[in-house]
Amino acid sequence: MPALLKGIYALGFNRPSKIQATALPMILADPPQNLIAQSQSGTGKTAAFVLAMLSRVDAMKRYPQCICLSPTFELALQTGEVIEQMGKFCDGVDVVYAIRGNRPFKGSRIEAQIIVGTPGTVMDWCFKLKLIDVENIKVFVLDEADVMIGLQGHSDHSVRVKRAMPSHCQMLLFSATFEETVWCFAERIVPDPNIIKLKKEELTLTNIRQFYDFCENKEAKYKALSNMYGTITIAQAIIFCQTRRTANWLSQEMTSDGHVVALLSGELTVTERADIIQRFRDGKEKVLITTNVCARGIDVEQVSIVVNFDLPMTTEGLTDYETYLHRIGRTGRFGKKGVAINLVEKCFMHMLRDLEEHFGTKILRLDTGDIDEMERLCD
Ligand SMILES: Nc1ncnc2c1ncn2[C@@H]1O[C@H](COP(=O)(O)OP(=O)(O)OP(=O)(O)O)[C@@H](O)[C@H]1O
Pocket test for ligand 1, best of 9, 45, 86 (most atoms within 8 A of CB): 45
17 lines ligand 1 (CB under 6 A): yes
Above 0.85 for ipTM, yes or no?
yes
pLDDT at 105: 67
Q: Give the atom of ligand 1 at the shortest distance from the alpha carbon of 17.
A: 1
Average pLDDT over residues 320-341: 96
- Please tell me if the CB atom of residue 336 comes closer than 6 angstroms to any atom of ligand 1: no
Cβ contact 336:329 at 8 Å: no
- Percent of all residues in the chain with a pLDDT value above 70, rounded to a whole number: 99
262 three-state secondary structure:
strand
Residue 337 to residue 345: CA distance in whole angstroms: 27
Res. 378: pLDDT tops 80: no
- Mean pLDDT over 335-361 rounds to 95
Residue 79: helix, strand or coil by DSSP? helix
CA 295 – CA 316 distance, rounded (Å):
19
Q: Which residues contact 98 (CB under 8 A, 6 or more apart)?
A: 76, 115, 116, 117, 118, 121, 122, 125, 132
Instruction: Give 32's pLDDT tier (boundaries 50, 70, 90).
Output: very high
Check residue 364 and give its pLDDT. 94
With a 6 Å cutoff on the Cβ, whether 41 touches ligand 1 is yes
Query: What HEC string does 82-123 produce?
Result: HHHHHCCCCCCCCEEEECCCCCCCCCCCCCCCEEEECHHHHH
The answer to whether 20 and 42 have CB atoms below 8 angstroms apart is no
Query: pLDDT band at residue 20, thresholds of 50, 70 and 90?
Result: very high
CB of 221 shorter than 6 A to ligand 1: no
Nearest CA to ligand 1 atom 25: 41
Confidence of residue 230 (pLDDT cuts 50, 70, 90): confident
CA of 261 to the centre of ligand 1 (A): 26
pLDDT per position as a tens digit, 33-89 = 999 999 999 999 999 999 999 999 999 999 999 999 999 999 999 999 999 999 999
- Mutate which of 22, 325, 334 for ligand 1? The one with the most ligand atoms within 8 Å of its CB, which is 334
Helix (H) or strand (E) holding 308: strand 303-308
Given this model, what pLDDT does residue 153 score? 84
The stretch 1-26 carries a mean pLDDT of: 95
* 111 C-beta closer than 6 A to ligand 1: no
Q: Ligand 1 centroid to 82 CA: how many Å?
A: 10
Confidence band, pLDDT 50/70/90 cuts, at residue 104: confident
Q: In this structure, which residue's CA is closest to atom 9 in ligand 1?
A: 44
Tell me the H-state helices in 233-304: 244-256, 270-281
Pair 72, 293: CB distance under 8 Å: yes
> Is residue 107 scored above 70 in pLDDT?
no
**How confident is the model over 195-227, as pLDDT tens digits?**
999 998 889 889 999 999 999 999 999 999 999
The residue whose CA is least distant from atom 15 of ligand 1 is: 44
Contact 334 CB / ligand 1 (< 6 Å): yes
Tell which residue, 356, 294, 364, has the closest CA to residue 329: 294
Identify which of 27, 236, 333, 336 to mutate to test ligand 1's pocket (most ligand atoms within 8 A of the CB): 333
- Residue 373: the pLDDT is 81
In this predicted structure, what is the pLDDT of residue 42? Answer: 96
Give the closest residue to 334 by CA, choosing from 111, 18, 89, 52. Answer: 18
CA distances for 149 relative to 70, 185, 305, 367, angstroms: 11, 8, 30, 40
Given a contact cutoff of 8 angstroms between Cβ atoms, the answer to whether 229 and 347 are in contact is no
Q: Whose CA is nearest to atom 12 of ligand 1?
A: 334
pLDDT the model gives residue 372: 83
Across residues 6-18, what is the average pLDDT? 96
Neighbour tally for 55: CB within 10 Å: 15
pLDDT in tens, 236-261: 999 999 999 999 999 999 999 999 99
Per-residue model confidence as pLDDT tens digits over 258-272: 999 999 988 898 889
For the stretch 112-154, pLDDT in tens is 999 999 999 999 999 999 999 999 999 999 999 999 998 888 9
Residue 346 in this model has a pLDDT that exceeds 90: yes
pLDDT (average), residues 168-189: 94
Q: What is the pTM of this model?
A: 0.94
pLDDT band, very low/low/confident/very high, at 379 (cuts 50, 70, 90): low
Evaluate whether 289 touches 239 at the Cβ level (below 8 Å).
yes
3-state secondary structure of 173: strand
* Cβ of 32 less than 6 Å from ligand 1: no
Set out the domains of the chain in order of their start, with CATH numbers. 2-198 (3.40.50.300), 204-376 (3.40.50.300)
Distance 208 CA to ligand 1 centre (A): 15
